[in-house]
């Protein structure tokens, strides 16, 4: 308290408080205790020169209510009471006219007092993870609000007065029960980030397309059947609309999105991709996994910045599966070869013409500079020549392919690529362990080490926080590598053709992004029923294991049926 009189900041978080002591509210009013005892004050103890309290942090306590005495701290600019047990807020909050940030998230609030709407200087209001079923109609009075998070509540609609929040930059409405968005929110001219993930939206108001400042739009896990057109969203960089029921992707949906770098449409019912996708010249990530796409437009090969293309779980007929498994750059190279009308040879590889001769050279500088690809595959080499790494020097490569050699270890110089490489293929070698250097590749999203002699993974792999896809098929794992449970970005784990005997369903349940788990041809003697609770799994492959149940007839019905069967067996 004495320190707070000088600094104006008081942090009482994590102290198991069930109530706030009275002298905290009265810190700027009462003469301090020590003033009665000590009458000779040094310069440091001049309590009458104290600073008004501007920041009060009471987070992570056990508070069930806040006193109306909060009004005795009119200078507060920040009040943080997140992670308590508050069921209501005092109306006196409305008196804190200097308040700029209010965090009441992770409580048990069922309503917001009208008086809160008097806080005309409020810039950040965090209400997420409460039990709010509605917001006051006059919400638009908070005109200076720049950040509003009402995610993880029970809201069924949004007040139309939201349209008045013209300074709002970030709005999070995710994990509620919204069936529609008011068209008026298109008036939020400053809005850059809008998150509507996990609601019940069937349509998006067409007016949303006039939001000129919008950069990130999240519409995942709703009930959308189509994407809106975005004529004015010239700055939109990320559009996430996975796990909906979108059936068509039209040229009209795409043609204005000049700035788009991420387009995520996985787990929908899209049947085809229009040739006009080539207008998205800035696209870096395209996720079309788990749709109904049977052919790809060759124009995809012309997207100059595309680094990540996810297509697994589609009935692609025109592209061989082994080509898909070679990674994004190889696939784009193939698509480009088809545009040129070479008429590819039956094997699916472009024919050898004078055009392909430069890549026969030992170092393909064109691949390094234009495709950002360091390729030394299918050479049956026991070591990677140093000149390969020397050639990279000032050219950042994003993809590395050393597959189909005789390597018995990961080349130590791989660490030199740690600031750029995202996609590493080391499959079909003789590698028996992964070194900790590999764990320094902090941008790694895709790791393919299939067909090696691996029996375990290093614990340091936990630092690969961006890793989304790992292929460990055809190795010698007897245990499910426990470090994988801690890499929460993982979307795909391919572990077929090993000797894994068991899995931990409770750990898998925590992996919110995991959509594909391939455990075919292992030594699973039983499938734990709790695996049925991993409802994010879209593809679960268990064939070729010695367990008795679920029986083959259940497995043949597909992932949803298997998960449902397992849930029915939970004791």
The strand pairing partners of 492, in sequence order, are 469, 516
Nearest CA to 174 out of 153, 160, 158 is that of 153
User: Into how many domains does the chain fold?
Assistant: 3
Q: Give the span between the Cα atoms of 377 and 324, in whole angstroms.
A: 16
On whether residue 99 sits in a domain, the answer given is no
* 422 and 398 Cβ atoms separated by less than 8 Å: yes
Q: Give the span between the Cα atoms of 43 and 66, in whole angstroms.
A: 35
| DSSP character string of 58-96 | --SS--S---GGGGG-TT-SEEE--SS--S---GGGGG-
- Say whether the peptide bond before residue 550 is cis (omega within 30 degrees of 0): yes
Q: What is the pLDDT of residue 183?
A: 87
Look-up: residue for tokens 């507060």? 76
Q: What is the CATH number of the domain that holds 305?
A: 3.80.10.10
- C-alpha to C-alpha distances, 458 to 412, 428, 433, 472, nearest whole angstrom: 15, 20, 8, 14
505 and 413 within one domain: yes
* 255 and 232 Cβ atoms separated by less than 8 Å: no
On whether residue 48 sits in a domain, the answer given is no
502 and 382 within one domain: yes
Query: How many residues comprise the chain?
Result: 571
313 and 168 within one domain: no
The pair of structure tokens assigned to 64 is: 């069930």
Question: CA triplet 264, 270, 275: central angle to 5 degrees?
Answer: 80
* 131 and 154 Cβ atoms separated by less than 8 Å: yes
- What is the block-wise mean pLDDT of the chain (571 residues), using blocks of 10 residues? 91 95 91 59 57 95 96 97 97 96 97 95 97 94 97 95 94 96 89 96 86 93 88 88 93 85 96 90 95 90 91 85 83 83 38 33 74 89 90 88 94 92 95 93 95 95 95 95 96 95 95 94 94 93 91 89 94 88
- C-alpha to C-alpha distances, 436 to 101, 124, 391, 412, 440, nearest whole angstrom: 43, 42, 24, 10, 7
Nearest CA to 259 out of 279, 275, 242 is that of 279
Q: What's the domain range around 550? A: 365-568
Q: What is the pLDDT of residue 227?
A: 86
* 300 and 306 Cβ atoms separated by less than 8 Å: yes
* 223 and 241 Cβ atoms separated by less than 8 Å: no
On whether residue 104 sits in a domain, the answer given is no
- Domain termination residue (choose one: 206, 241, 276): 241
207 and 254 within one domain: no
Phi, psi of 217 (to 5 degrees): -130, 120
Q: Give the span between the Cα atoms of 363 and 501, in whole angstroms.
A: 43
500 and 478 within one domain: yes
On whether residue 74 sits in a domain, the answer given is no
255 and 157 within one domain: no
331 and 394 within one domain: no
On whether residue 33 sits in a domain, the answer given is no
Helix (H) or strand (E) holding 9: strand 9-11
On whether residue 346 sits in a domain, the answer given is no
Phi, psi of 448 (to 5 degrees): -120, 110
Using DSSP, state whether 437 is helix, strand or coil. helix
317 and 186 within one domain: no
Nearest CA to 483 out of 465, 501, 500, 497 is that of 465
547 and 515 within one domain: yes
On whether residue 465 sits in a domain, the answer given is yes
- Domain termination residue (choose one: 241, 271, 291): 241
- Domain termination residue (choose one: 241, 258, 286): 241
The pair of structure tokens assigned to 129 is: 């993870």
User: What is the CA 53 to chain-centroid distance, rounded?
Assistant: 38
426 and 532 within one domain: yes
On whether residue 537 sits in a domain, the answer given is yes
Question: CA triplet 120, 121, 124: central angle to 5 degrees?
Answer: 110
Phi, psi of 399 (to 5 degrees): -125, 135
Q: Give the span between the Cα atoms of 507 and 36, in whole angstroms.
A: 58
305 and 385 within one domain: no
259 and 222 within one domain: no
């Amino acid at each position: 308290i004495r320190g707070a009189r000088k600094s104006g900041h008081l942090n009482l978080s994590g102290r198991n408080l069930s109530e706030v002591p009275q002298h905290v509210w009265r810190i700027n009013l009462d003469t301090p205790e020590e003033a009665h005892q000590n009458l000779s004050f040094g310069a440091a103890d001049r309590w009458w020169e104290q600073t008004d309290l501007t920041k009060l942090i009471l987070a992570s306590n056990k508070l069930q209510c806040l006193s109306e005495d909060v009004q005795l701290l009119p200078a507060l600019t920040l009040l943080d009471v997140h992670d308590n047990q508050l069921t209501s807020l005092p109306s006196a909050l409305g008196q804190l006219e200097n308040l700029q940030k209010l965090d009441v998230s992770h409580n048990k609030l069922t309503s917001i007092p009208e008086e809160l709407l008097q806080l005309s200087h409020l810039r950040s209001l965090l209400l997420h993870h409460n039990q709010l079923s509605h917001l006051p109609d006059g919400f638009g009075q908070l005109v200076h609000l720049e950040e509003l998070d009402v995610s993880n509540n029970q809201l069924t609609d949004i007040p139309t007065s939201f349209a008045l929040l013209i300074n709002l930059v970030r709005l999070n409405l995710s994990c509620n029960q919204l069936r529609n968005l008011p068209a008026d929110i298109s008036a939020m001219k400053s809005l850059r980030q809008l998150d509507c993930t996990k609601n019940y939206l069937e349509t998006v108001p067409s007016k949303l397309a006039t939001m000129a400042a919008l950069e990130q739009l999240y519409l995942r896990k709703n009930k959308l059947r189509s994407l809106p057109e975005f004529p004015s969203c010239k700055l939109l960089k990320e559009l996430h609309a996975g796990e909906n029921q979108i059936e068509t992707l039209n040229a009209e949906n795409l043609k204005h999105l000049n700035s788009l770098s991420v387009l995520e449409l996985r787990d929908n019912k899209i049947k085809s991709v229009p040739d006009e996708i080539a207008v998205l010249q800035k696209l870096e990530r395209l996720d079309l996994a788990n749709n109904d796409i049977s052919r790809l437009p060759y124009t995809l090969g012309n997207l100059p910045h595309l680094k990540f293309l996810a297509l697994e779980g589609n009935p692609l007929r025109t592209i061989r599966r082994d080509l898909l498994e070679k990674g994004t750059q190889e696939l784009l190279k193939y698509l480009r070869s088809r545009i040129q009308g070479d008429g590819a040879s039956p094997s699916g590889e472009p024919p050898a013409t004078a055009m392909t001769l430069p890549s026969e050279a030992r170092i393909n500088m064109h691949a390094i500079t234009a495709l950002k690809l360091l390729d030394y595959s299918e050479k049956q080499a026991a070591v990677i020549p140093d000149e390969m790494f020397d050639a990279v020097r000032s050219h950042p490569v994003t993809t590395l392919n050393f597959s189909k050699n005789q390597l018995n270890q990961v080349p130590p110089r791989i660490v030199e690529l740690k600031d750029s490489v995202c996609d590493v293929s080391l499959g079909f070698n003789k590698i028996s362990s992964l070194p900790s250097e590999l764990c320094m590749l902090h941008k790694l999203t895709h790791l393919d080490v299939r067909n090696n002699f691996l029996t375990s993974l290093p614990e340091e792999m936990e630092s690969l926080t961006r890793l989304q896809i790992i292929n460990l098929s055809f190795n010698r794992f007897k245990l499910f590598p426990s470090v994988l449970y801690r890499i929460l970005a993982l979307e795909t784990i391919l572990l077929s053709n090993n000797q894994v005997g068991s899995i931990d369903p409770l750990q898998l349940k925590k992996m919110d992004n995991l959509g594909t788990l391939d455990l075919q041809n292992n030594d699973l003697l039983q499938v734990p029923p709790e695996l049925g609770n991993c409802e994010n799994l879209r593809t679960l492959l268990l064939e070729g294991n010695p367990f008795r149940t679920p029986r083959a007839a259940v497995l043949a019905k597909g992932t949803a049926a298997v998960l449902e069967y397992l849930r029915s067996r939970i004791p």
